[in-house]
Amino acid sequence: MKDALIEFLSEKGVLITPEALDYVEKDVGDINKLRSALSSMEEFPHILGIERIRPILEGEIAEAPLPKPSGEDNFIKVPEIPVKADVARPDINIIRDVTGKSRSTAKVESFLSTFKDRYSRLYRVLRAKPHLKYVRRIGEAVKKRGEEISVIGMVRDVKETGKGFIVSLEDPSGSVEVFFSKETLREKPLLDEVVGVFGRIPLSDRGKKPRMFGKRIVWPDIQPHKMSLSKEKVSVAFISDLHVGSETFLKDAWDSFIRWLRSPEARDISYIIMAGDVVDGIGIYPDQEEELEISDIYEQYTMLAKMVEEIPDRISVIMIPGNHDFVRPAEPQPAFDDDIKKLFSGEVLFAGSPSLIEIHGVKILAYHGTSINDFINVLPGVSYEDPSLALIRMLKSRILAPIYGGKTPLAPEKEDYMVIDEVPDIFVTGHVHSFVKSNYRGVKIINASTWQSQTKYQKMNNFKPDPGVVAIAELDTGRIYEKRFHT
Ligand SMILES: [Fe+2]
């Protein structure tokens, strides 16, 4: 019966939660009742949760409305503008996400396995590059005295000398120090990136460590990319860093966003992606409680759930966590646990950070962006105001958080989920509370804005956030535009 039900729902483009599926199977035992209840609806729900399915099957009402939040006086009351009848059916597919697959242990071997996986994934990418055709394992290459040779290795160290740079590279077979003059190495590799090097092993080598003279360095990078477009006229709105529960949460800006979502102008918006830090959390930084309006983590998510209920029903919300959220801080972060999920009713799909999500055939890489802090420290031109060069570097090195041991906590997983295997059409981050939209080799880049005004910490650091900006991607045209809701 389960299979028949899933097949019936997927034909209708409806996703069902496991609890709702259990309920239909065990308590109702008859899918025909659900079939006829759904058939009588004008518009199908995008996601069927237990809260929606129960009233539908109990026959109380033909289409169960979302439960109204308590304390609803806090919320705006704007009539929802009826959307056109041909609104696109939801079409979401999570391609890659650690959720439910985490095999993390605190053992050293687990980190080795993460790095080995990173190396072998990026080795495959680099192997195809023109300058790295005749690549050899490092252990073998260092014996080829006087020859021109290519190697692929993980960056273990970068030292600046008077004449240039010494880059230490390692692969499973050995290690080598590669000397680059300042002219040949205009861009320095970062620690734990995987790069290819073309160069020459000197005939005589008096040093203790194997050495090579580098002529060229190659990053995994992405090829020029042509964005896939959806057949349906459908748009996605990108937001991030709501920080619900903070006293600096911008309720007025949020209300005006909701008002806009209910207007005819927003009729093509069928998805909202929230790129993490959806609540402010507790105990994230010293004395945070002094800046909290809601100091209980569950109450913060309950407030967020009420806000999500104000979003029109035609819109599916996809939520990933960030470093302020109630989930392990080490990346890759899985989706929220059930005790958080159950606070939400209806149309929310929870995924991990990072997640590769396909919506109507368009691939969206969503990552909270915690590693941007590390890029700010090591990469010239990256700042809280403009993190775009960090996002470009992530695509260039094909790793979302290359540096181990910096500010980004990384979990040792069997696979390295931070590697960008598949090139996305849209790449979105948040975290730094600024708004950026850009393009790298055809990949649309967005740093989604925040719904929090300047915090004490930001004021101390003289950083002015750019809150209340929503990036909207038209999946059928590839156009990305912004709407501002904070005045
Ligand atoms: Fe964050």
Provide the pLDDT for residue 69: 36
b/e per residue, 152-188, with b = 16+ CB within 10 A?
A: bbbbeebeeeeebbbbbbbbeebbbbbbbeeeebeeb
Structure-token pair, residue 416 = 């390295």
CA of 241 to the centre of ligand 1 (A): 6
Give the three-class secondary structure for 466. coil
* d(C-alpha 416, C-alpha 113), whole Å: 8
* Residues whose beta carbons lie less than 5 angstroms from ion ligand 1: 277, 322-323, 431
CA of 213 to the centre of ligand 1 (A): 41
CA of 486 to the centre of ligand 1 (A): 20
Lowest mean pLDDT among 37-46, 198-207, 382-391, 450-459: 37-46
Q: Is 361 exposed, middle or buried (0-12, 13-18, 19+ CB in 10 A)?
A: middle
Provide the pLDDT for residue 446: 98
Give the three-class secondary structure for 236. strand
- CB-side neighbour CA atoms (13 Å) of 142: 19
CA of 190 to the centre of ligand 1 (A): 22
CA of 418 to the centre of ligand 1 (A): 17
* d(C-alpha 370, C-alpha 377), whole Å: 13
Report the DSSP beta bridge partners of residue 167: 158, 178
Mean pLDDT of the chain: 87
CA of 199 to the centre of ligand 1 (A): 41
CA of 370 to the centre of ligand 1 (A): 6
194-200 and 164-171 beta bridge pairing? unpaired
Structure-token pair, residue 399 = 């790793």
Residues 92-100+224-484, CATH architecture: 4-Layer Sandwich (3.60)
Domain coordinates in residue numbering, the chain: 2-65, 92-100+224-484, 129-218
The yes-or-no verdict on residue 207 having pLDDT over 50 is yes
* SS percent in the chain: helix, strand, coil, step 5: 25, 25, 50
Provide the pLDDT for residue 94: 96
- Please, are residues 258 and 272 in contact by the beta-carbon 8 Å criterion? no
DSSP 8-state symbol, 333? B
- Please, are residues 370 and 331 in contact by the beta-carbon 8 Å criterion? yes
CA of 372 to the centre of ligand 1 (A): 10
pLDDT digits (tens, 9 = 90+) for 438-484: 999 999 999 999 999 999 889 988 899 999 999 999 999 999 999 99
Structure-token pair, residue 334 = 């899985």
CA of 74 to the centre of ligand 1 (A): 26
The yes-or-no verdict on residue 365 having pLDDT over 50 is yes
Could you tell me which residue, 411 or 155, shows the higher pLDDT? 155
Provide the pLDDT for residue 73: 42
Provide the pLDDT for residue 214: 96
CA of 242 to the centre of ligand 1 (A): 10
Q: What is the C-alpha radius of gyration for the chain, rounded to an integer number of angstroms?
A: 25
Residues contacting 269, CB < 8 A, separation 6+? 235, 236, 237, 261, 315, 472
CA of 267 to the centre of ligand 1 (A): 30
Annotation: CATH topology of 129-218: OB fold (Dihydrolipoamide Acetyltransferase, E2P) (2.40.50)
pLDDT band at 209 (very low <50, low <70, confident <90, very high): confident
CA of 463 to the centre of ligand 1 (A): 15
The yes-or-no verdict on residue 49 having pLDDT over 80 is no
The yes-or-no verdict on residue 85 having pLDDT over 50 is no
CA of 325 to the centre of ligand 1 (A): 9
DSSP 8-state symbol, 189? P
Could you tell me which residue, 7 or 82, shows the higher pLDDT? 7
- Please, are residues 105 and 111 in contact by the beta-carbon 8 Å criterion? no
362-366 and 469-474 beta bridge pairing? unpaired
CA of 197 to the centre of ligand 1 (A): 35
CA of 368 to the centre of ligand 1 (A): 7
- Please, are residues 170 and 206 in contact by the beta-carbon 8 Å criterion? no
Provide the pLDDT for residue 60: 36
- Please, are residues 236 and 271 in contact by the beta-carbon 8 Å criterion? yes
CA of 15 to the centre of ligand 1 (A): 29
Q: What is the distance, to the nearest Å, from the Cα of residue 420 to the centroid of all Cα atoms in its chain?
A: 11
The torsion defined by the Cα of 96, 353, 303 and 471, in degrees rounded to 10, comes to -90
CA of 479 to the centre of ligand 1 (A): 27
CA of 64 to the centre of ligand 1 (A): 35
CA of 344 to the centre of ligand 1 (A): 21
Helices (H), 310-404: 338-341, 372-378, 388-397
Provide the pLDDT for residue 331: 95
Structure-token pair, residue 213 = 């003279």
CA of 321 to the centre of ligand 1 (A): 9
CA of 456 to the centre of ligand 1 (A): 15
Structure-token pair, residue 65 = 């409305």
The torsion defined by the Cα of 286, 291, 297 and 299, in degrees rounded to 10, comes to 170
Q: Helices 31-39 and 2-11 sit at what angle, rounded to 10 degrees?
A: 10
pLDDT digits (tens, 9 = 90+) for 148-161: 999 999 999 999 99
